[in-house]
């Protein structure tokens, strides 16, 4: 009986296959403290039970991206242990708030398979869901990832590349937002007076600050998420890779950019969904991360007058301040750009 797993290879996946992932995880106040220590997040809702209570939450919910990383981490041993590259995200929606004490587990479905012409790799499209202890969904997202084949000659049963949405419609947003009483929202404690209507599509905001990343930090983070991708932890093997170094988990960059974005988006307290995301280039320890955002759109949230949705593009760059908003020239990204994240955030009106 095979006791150890070296993960699935491309030919091991089957279209329509459902995979229930291992190691359910109770999220605790300890995780929240570590998340604060790792990124320095300052959004008042996630930082303060009192602030949360004043607008109708039972207590401070767990940061949305911490939920994302924990669910994502569960999928790694089954989906991406033999990944060459994480290619993208789509249709990521947060569906219920998570509080300390909740227990999360994850289930995935293979929704697409496409072998590459070199027959050495293929793209796996997977829809993953995070569920809490009551079976209620907290997160639902699609990612696609390039995975090695074990055997180049192995045949692939059925292939299909799904059509993926490039945008979540605003009417689908807000499921994880309880009915709130924003009369109690303290705009001094939240750190900014800027509301939904103060942001204009096309507006660009430099988040000013920079954060240097250390090996110990991203390793602590990625282990906290029980993510087992060896490229993040194993310098012995990575010293022989093309970079010669440990790669930092892409989600670490997302959380750094999100924390930096507080300076400019302090009231955008909840990520309702991620339309798409791309890890444009790798980040290594010693690099300093900067970020800026563009307001892509403003939308009403379904059935509510208290909050609205902002569609944002947040760009993270390394070793390059973002006052001039580095992005693309033509189709090519500025060489400093490492993350291109397109998401919907909720913000008081």
Site for a second copy in 89-128 (CB under 8 A): 100-101, 103, 105
Token pair 């563009």: residue: 294
Return the number of other C-beta atoms located less than 10 Å from residue 25's C-beta: 19
4 belongs to the binding site for a second copy (CB under 8 A): yes
- Smallest gap from Cβ 224 to a second copy, in A, equals 4
26 belongs to the binding site for a second copy (CB under 8 A): yes
Return the number of other C-beta atoms located less than 10 Å from residue 337's C-beta: 20
x/- site string to a second copy, residues 125 to 144, per CB under 8 A?
Answer: --------x-----------
**CB under 8 A: which stretch of 61-69, 162-170, 282-290, 337-345 binds a second copy?**
282-290
Strands 332-333 and 328-329, how do they pair? antiparallel
Chain-centroid distance of CA 247 in Å reads: 17
- Taking each helix axis from N to C end, the angle separating 64-79 and 215-224, rounded to the nearest 10 degrees, works out to 80
Nearer to a second copy, 43 or 141 (CB): 43
**2: three-class secondary structure by DSSP:** coil
265 belongs to the binding site for a second copy (CB under 8 A): yes
5 belongs to the binding site for a second copy (CB under 8 A): yes
Residue 225 CA neighbour count, 13 Å, CB half: 30
- Smallest gap from Cβ 25 to a second copy, in A, equals 5
- Smallest gap from Cβ 329 to a second copy, in A, equals 22
Nearer to a second copy, 152 or 214 (CB): 214
Euclidean distance between CA atoms 234 and 162, whole angstroms: 34
51 belongs to the binding site for a second copy (CB under 8 A): yes
- Residues 170-199 binding a second copy (CB under 8 A) are 188-194, 198-199
220 belongs to the binding site for a second copy (CB under 8 A): yes
286 belongs to the binding site for a second copy (CB under 8 A): yes
Euclidean distance between CA atoms 178 and 301, whole angstroms: 13
Euclidean distance between CA atoms 132 and 99, whole angstroms: 10
Token pair 């398979």: residue: 113
Euclidean distance between CA atoms 101 and 123, whole angstroms: 36
Among 224, 253, 315, 341, binds a second copy (CB under 8 A): 224
Euclidean distance between CA atoms 167 and 276, whole angstroms: 7
207 belongs to the binding site for a second copy (CB under 8 A): yes
Number of residues that bind a second copy (CB under 8 A): 84
Residue 215 CA neighbour count, 13 Å, CB half: 7
- Residues 53-72 binding a second copy (CB under 8 A) are 60
- Smallest gap from Cβ 58 to a second copy, in A, equals 13
**CB under 8 A: which stretch of 16-24, 113-121, 173-181, 338-346 binds a second copy?**
16-24
- Residues 289-328 binding a second copy (CB under 8 A) are 290, 319, 321
């Amino acid at each position: 009986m095979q006791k150890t797993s070296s993960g699935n290879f491309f030919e091991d996946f089957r279209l329509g296959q459902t995979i229930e992932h291992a190691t359910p995880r109770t999220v605790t106040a300890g995780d929240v403290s570590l998340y604060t220590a790792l990124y320095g997040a300052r959004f008042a809702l996630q930082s303060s039970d009192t602030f949360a209570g004043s607008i109708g939450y039972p207590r401070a919910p767990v940061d949305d991206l911490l939920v994302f990383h924990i669910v994502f981490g569960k999928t790694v041993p089954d989906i991406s242990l033999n990944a060459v590259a994480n290619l993208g995200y789509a249709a990521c929606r947060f569906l219920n708030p998570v509080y300390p004490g909740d227990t999360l587990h994850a289930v995935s479905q293979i929704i697409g398979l496409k072998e590459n012409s070199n027959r050495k790799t293929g793209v796996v499209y997977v829809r993953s869901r995070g569920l809490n202890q009551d079976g209620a969904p907290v997160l639902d997202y699609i990612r696609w990832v390039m995975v090695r084949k074990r055997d180049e000659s192995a045949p692939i049963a059925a292939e299909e590349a799904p059509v993926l949405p490039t945008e979540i419609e605003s009417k689908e947003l807000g499921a994880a937002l309880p009915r709130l009483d924003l009369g109690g929202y303290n705009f001094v404690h939240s750190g900014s007076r800027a509301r939904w209507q103060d942001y204009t599509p096309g507006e660009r905001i430099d988040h000013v600050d920079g954060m240097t990343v250390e090996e110990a930090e991203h390793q602590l983070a990625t282990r906290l998420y029980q993510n087992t991708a060896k490229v993040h932890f194993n310098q012995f093997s990575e010293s022989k890779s093309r970079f010669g170094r440990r790669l930092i988990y892409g989600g670490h960059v997302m959380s750094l950019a999100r924390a930096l974005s507080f300076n400019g988006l302090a009231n955008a307290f909840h990520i309702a969904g991620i339309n798409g995301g791309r890890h444009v280039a790798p980040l290594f320890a010693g690099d300093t991360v900067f970020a800026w955002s563009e307001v892509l759109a403003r939308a009403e949230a379904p059935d509510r007058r208290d909050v609205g949705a902002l569609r944002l593009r947040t760009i993270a760059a390394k070793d390059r301040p973002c006052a001039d908003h580095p992005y693309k020239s033509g189709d090519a990204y500025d060489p400093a750009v490492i993350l291109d994240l397109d998401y919907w955030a909720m913000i008081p009106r």
